[in-house]
């Protein structure tokens, strides 16, 4: 996190620009790592910061706290937030950098929600306050040539096994904006003050994406997330005092983007003209075998923007795993 300046700066700037929210308050930092967020909160005037982490990094966090002479303000606890005993009954603020790849992969959001339900005061603040998942189109002939069709003939030999699972697994990579021929669409919004664990499973979220340019062949979908910081429980995303994106149009982050490649051998090829749309539904849930996995299913069809019809319109469906 420390070297990812996009996310660290976003937290720091929100905290330092809104010190009045932290002055004299009790803060819980869930999954504190080295304790950088706790340090920010203490410097912003928090009366007490409780930093919790279940890994050995908490020992380093404790050293860092005392090295910076903040031991009277920050208390470090090792263990799961669901299992440790906090020195207070309620906290005024819960802060956490809980996000994983594709937002929810190996994320700590379940623990953050538990901590909120158990410890956050009824007028308390969640930082960050909102998260959204975004979907956009992907078309990149060069990427497909390098990663997929290259293995069809390597010095005259077939090596198709080298691209095994290319169409089954989500790929984490940085996607160039030139490979995204659409604007992104929000398919999930998580208001962190009220979201519950059951809300993290999406059975069928509608989406519509309009091609901003001609596409010789649609190769897949790109998923990224946006994070928002608001100054009150009743605030909306549009009221955010600070935010950052992990999308192709933003500065690169540790999370990059999630790429779901279309298996054209099963679904056929899709060509699009600027103005035509891809419409469908997306489902997202935790994996059957491992709860930290994600299973993403997309059902889609291409339609003409003017008539909502297309001669070759076919409903397609594909499922990917993030493991």
146: tokens are 């390098």
Per annotation, catalytic residue among 106, 189, 293, 295:
106
Bridge partner list, 215 = 272
Burial class, 286, CB count within 10 angstroms (exposed 0-12 / middle 13-18 / buried 19+): middle
Closest residue by Cα to residue 259 from 155, 151, 174: 174
Known catalytic residue: 63?
no
Per annotation, catalytic residue among 67, 82, 83, 97:
97
Known catalytic residue: 106?
yes
Q: How far apart are CA 44 and CA 80, in angstroms?
A: 26
Length of the chain: 323
What positions carry a catalytic annotation? 97, 106
């Amino acid at each position: 996190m420390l070297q990812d300046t996009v996310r660290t700066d976003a937290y720091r700037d929100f905290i330092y620009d809104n010190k009045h929210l932290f002055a004299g308050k009790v803060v819980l930092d869930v999954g504190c790592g080295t304790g950088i967020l706790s340090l920010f909160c203490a410097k912003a005037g928090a009366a007490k910061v409780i930093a919790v982490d279940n890994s050995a990094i908490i020992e380093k966090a404790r050293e860092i706290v005392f090295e910076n002479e903040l031991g009277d303000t920050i208390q470090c606890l090792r263990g799961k937030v669901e299992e440790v005993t906090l020195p207070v009954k309620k906290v005024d603020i819960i802060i956490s950098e809980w996000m994983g790849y594709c937002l929810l992969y190996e994320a700590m959001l379940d623990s953050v929600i538990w901590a909120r339900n158990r410890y956050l005061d009824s007028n308390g603040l969640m930082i960050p306050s909102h998260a959204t998942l975004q979907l956009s189109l992907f078309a990149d002939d060069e990427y497909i040539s390098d990663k997929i069709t290259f293995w069809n003939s390597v010095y005259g030999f077939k090596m198709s096994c080298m691209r095994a699972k290319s169409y089954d697994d989500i790929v984490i990579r940085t996607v160039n904006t030139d490979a995204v021929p659409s604007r992104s669409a929000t398919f999930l919004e998580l208001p962190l003050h009220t979201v519950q664990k059951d809300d993290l499973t999406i059975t069928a979220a509608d989406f519509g994406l309009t091609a901003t340019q001609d596409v010789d062949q649609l190769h897949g979908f790109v998923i990224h997330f946006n994070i928002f910081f608001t100054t009150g429980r009743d605030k909306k995303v549009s009221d955010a005092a600070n935010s950052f994106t992990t999308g192709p149009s933003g500065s690169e982050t540790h999370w990059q983007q999630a790429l779901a490649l279309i298996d054209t051998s099963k679904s056929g090829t899709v060509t699009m003209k600027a103005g035509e749309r891809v419409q469908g539904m997306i489902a997202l849930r935790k994996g059957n075998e491992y709860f930290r996995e994600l299973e993403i299913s997309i059902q889609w069809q291409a339609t003409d923007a003017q008539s909502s019809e297309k001669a070759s319109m076919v409903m397609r469906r594909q499922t990917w795993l993030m493991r």
